[in-house]
Amino acid sequence: MRPALIVRFAVSLAALASFGAGIIAYTSGRVPAGPNLPLAGALLVLIAAMTRRYGIALPGNGFSSYVIGVMLFAILDRGWAFVAIVAPFAMLVGDVLLRRLPLRGALGNAAHLTAGSTFVGLMYARVGGEAGAGALSVENLAPLALTLVLLPMIVNGTFYLELALGQTIAWVDARLTMRWESIVYLVSAALAIAWLGLLHATIPISPRLFLAVALALTTAGSLYVLRLGVRADELNLIQRLAQVIAAELTLSRSFERVQELTRQLVPWEHMGFARYDPRTREMELVADTAAQQGTMFRFDADAGLTGEALRLRRAVVAHGLARDQVILPGAETPGSEMLVPLYHGGNLVGLWSVRHSDPAMYRESDGDLLELLAPQLALMVAIDGSLRPVSGASDQTTQYIQTLTATAEEIHASSQEVAASAQRASQGAGQAASLVSTAAREAGQLKDSATQLAAAGDHTREAGAQMEKIANRVRTGTQDAVRQLTDLGATTEESAAEVDRLREVAAQVEKFSETIGFVANQTNLLALNATIEAARAGVHGRGFAVVADEVHKLAEASGREARNVGKSVQDTRRALDRAAQLIERIRGDLGQVVQNSAAWVQDLDRIADAALETARAGKQVAEIGRHSAGLATKITETLERARGGAHTSTQETEAVAAAAAEQLRAIQDLAHGATQLSALAEQLSQAVRFIRGGNGHP
């Protein structure tokens, strides 16, 4: 079991025991009921419930009320048993019926108040504390002081212990809440003592009524003053947040500080800012604690809670959200969310989202509190959006200038090389003139070689053409042979088919001869039986015996012929089998010959193609030779003209060197101007980085 649950169970058990003990104490008579006990109890329950209804909402999700002061009044007026019965009813009526809190939370608050108040009431009785009018006597000062100190410590101590063990205190500004809890308790305790003194004072009715009205006004006025004080604290936090935003100007620098100070105003688990894009009517996430760095996230500005906040033009507080009701940039559990639209100059510039997984975390007053920061945050988002293109432009300008500077330096180096090259060209022009004469002589030799090359090319072309003709004749003859072999193969296949049919006919004849032999044997047996029967018949069967003997002879002759036919058929089948094998072997050989012939035809095709290419190459060689001879003649003429222009080239290269020197000076001036422009661009970039959140240095 978790420690927070142990504390809650123990406090709840103590509260039940306290309530039961109070009932038993009154019903058993151990504690005197006193006059008008039910009326006094009901009236005190109503007063305590009203203090919960008109309690003070503190920054950081805290809450304080005069209810502990009312419990102090109950202890001092009628003792521990009275407070044990009044406390649970007061808290449940106030929190459930008037504040509309969930029953579970109200029961927890009632348990802490009942157990703590009853314990302090028992301690007050144990140290001899007086009830009623005697509670304010001088003799009762020590028990009264002890009760004043112990009551808030016990009630609030168990409450904050459960929050701390349950890690819920992380969502409450404990320092600010305890400070205001102490102030509210001191005021409520003073009012409780004043009301107790007025109740038991022995003064006439008129002054009593006047003092009661004055004390009631004082009670209401104290609540108003305390609310003003809390509001001042909230405004102080708002001012600190506004100062942070105004000092940083950009979201990238102030986001962490905004998170820290916002936690003192309202609890949150995740928060983020989105910028509005009027062109697409979408929100673009610019910073969020739930999104990973560099994540691009956009969502429709007219849908869901965002659309509602924009239609109302004010903060929207939503409770009990499901995952399909919200758009979340990361893996988080939806619960409660506050959306604050940001307007600058009447135009929507962005959205501020504050989220928590607890479905009942935020109050409507929290949204009103955050809305006080909306103008400053809108200005920050607007400035941040405006600086993005400026920053990009300044960075791009810096890159352009750096490129220009580098280009100028390259041109500067190239100009120096041009000047040096022009000088070297001037020196080499004289050498070129002497080389021209040598080149002219070599060009004449090139002309003679080209003429010989043209003649050799003609011979190669003629040989290639002759080879192509021979290859074509051989290829034609081979193709005819392949066609004949192919036809022979087809004939062989037909012969093989005929032999197969003859083998089938021979097999049928062999079966027929076997059938005839079988019939002859049966006939012979019948003739033998007929002879036997004729012998038995004696003289009367003699003629039948002659017929039977003839039939016997005929059957033997038929059997011999059938055997001869069967033997002949078997010999024929063996001959046909050998013929079929021979034809099959011939057909395979013919197929191999056809394949080899086809490959040979392909080889002949390649030979013919090679011969054709050889003829073409020979023709090209001859043409190149003749063309080279013509070029050699032209080169000789050109070199003669170049010999005369070498001197002119020397003069022109000197002019180029002078122009290159002038260009070099101009490029140096350009490089100096580019350097100054680069410095100005860098200053602009530093200024933009400083505004956006950089350190102002490259």
- The band of 655, judged by pLDDT with boundaries at 50, 70 and 90, is low
The H or E element that residue 103 is part of is: helix 103-126
Can you tell me the distance from the alpha carbon of 353 to that of 332, in angstroms, rounded to the nearest whole number? 14
What sign has the CA pseudo-torsion 587, 592, 598, 601?
negative
Most confident stretch, 224-233, 442-451, 534-543, 552-561: 224-233
Q: Looking at residue 696, what is its pLDDT? A: 44
Can you tell me the distance from the alpha carbon of 229 to that of 175, in angstroms, rounded to the nearest whole number? 16
Q: Is the pLDDT of residue 627 over 90?
A: no
Q: Looking at residue 673, what is its pLDDT? A: 62
**How deeply is 158 buried, as exposed, middle or buried, from its count of CB atoms within 10 A (0-12, 13-18, 19+)?**
buried
Q: Is the pLDDT of residue 511 over 70?
A: yes
Identify which of 333, 329, 341 has the alpha carbon closest to the alpha carbon of residue 361. 333
Percentage of residues in the chain with pLDDT exceeding 70? 69
Task: DSSP letter for 328, please.
Answer: -
Percentage of residues in the chain with pLDDT exceeding 90? 25
- Compare 446 and 56 and report the one with higher pLDDT: 56
Tens digit of pLDDT for each residue in 550-595? 877 887 887 787 778 778 777 777 876 777 777 777 777 767 766 7
Q: Is the pLDDT of residue 122 over 60?
A: yes
- Compare 481 and 544 and report the one with higher pLDDT: 544
- Compare 424 and 439 and report the one with higher pLDDT: 424
Token output for 530: 């007929």
Can you tell me the distance from the alpha carbon of 474 to that of 601, in angstroms, rounded to the nearest whole number? 9
Tens digit of pLDDT for each residue in 230-247? 888 878 878 877 777 777
Q: Is the pLDDT of residue 678 over 80?
A: no
Q: Looking at residue 45, what is its pLDDT? A: 97
Distances (CA, A) of 214 to 52, 69, 208, 416, 419: 22, 18, 10, 101, 105
Q: Looking at residue 222, what is its pLDDT? A: 95
Q: Is the pLDDT of residue 75 over 90?
A: yes
Tens digit of pLDDT for each residue in 436-447? 566 556 656 656
Can you tell me the distance from the alpha carbon of 477 to that of 472, in angstroms, rounded to the nearest whole number? 9
Q: Looking at residue 643, what is its pLDDT? A: 62
pTM of the model: 0.53
What is the mean pLDDT of the segment spanning 336-356?
Answer: 88
Tell me phi and psi for residue 338, to 5 degrees: -120, 125
Can you tell me the distance from the alpha carbon of 64 to that of 173, in angstroms, rounded to the nearest whole number? 13
- Compare 433 and 55 and report the one with higher pLDDT: 55
Q: Is the pLDDT of residue 167 over 50?
A: yes
Can you tell me the distance from the alpha carbon of 624 to that of 618, in angstroms, rounded to the nearest whole number? 10
Q: Lowest mean pLDDT of 44-58, 128-142, 244-258, name the range.
A: 244-258
Q: Looking at residue 697, what is its pLDDT? A: 40
Domains recognised in the chain with CATH numbers: 3-202 (1.10.1760), 266-372 (3.30.450.40), 390-692 (1.10.287.950)
Contact 352, 273 (CB under 8 A): yes
Contact 560, 517 (CB under 8 A): no
3-state helix, strand and coil shares in percent for the chain, rounded to the nearest 5: 80, 5, 15
Q: Looking at residue 186, what is its pLDDT? A: 96
- Compare 249 and 196 and report the one with higher pLDDT: 196
Provide the terminal-to-terminal Cα distance of the chain, rounded to the nearest Å: 57
Can you tell me the distance from the alpha carbon of 23 to that of 82, in angstroms, rounded to the nearest whole number? 9
Q: Is the pLDDT of residue 432 over 60?
A: no
SS3 state of residue 658: helix
Q: Is the pLDDT of residue 141 over 90?
A: yes
Can you tell me the distance from the alpha carbon of 514 to that of 512, in angstroms, rounded to the nearest whole number? 5
Distance of CA 65 to the CA centre of its chain: 49
- The band of 698, judged by pLDDT with boundaries at 50, 70 and 90, is very low
Instruction: Determine the residue type at 151.
Output: L
Q: Looking at residue 328, what is its pLDDT? A: 74
Q: Looking at residue 147, what is its pLDDT? A: 97
How high does pLDDT run on average in the chain?
A: 78
Token output for 669: 């001036």
Most confident stretch, 47-61, 185-199, 273-287, 652-666: 185-199
C-alpha triplet 328, 334, 337: angle, nearest 5°: 85
Q: Is the pLDDT of residue 68 over 90?
A: yes
Could you tell me which residues are beta bridge partners of residue 343? 348
What is the mean pLDDT of the segment spanning 350-361?
Answer: 85
Can you tell me the distance from the alpha carbon of 5 to that of 108, in angstroms, rounded to the nearest whole number? 11
Residues 6 or more apart whose Cβ sits within 8 Å of residue 218: 191, 194
Token output for 102: 């969930």
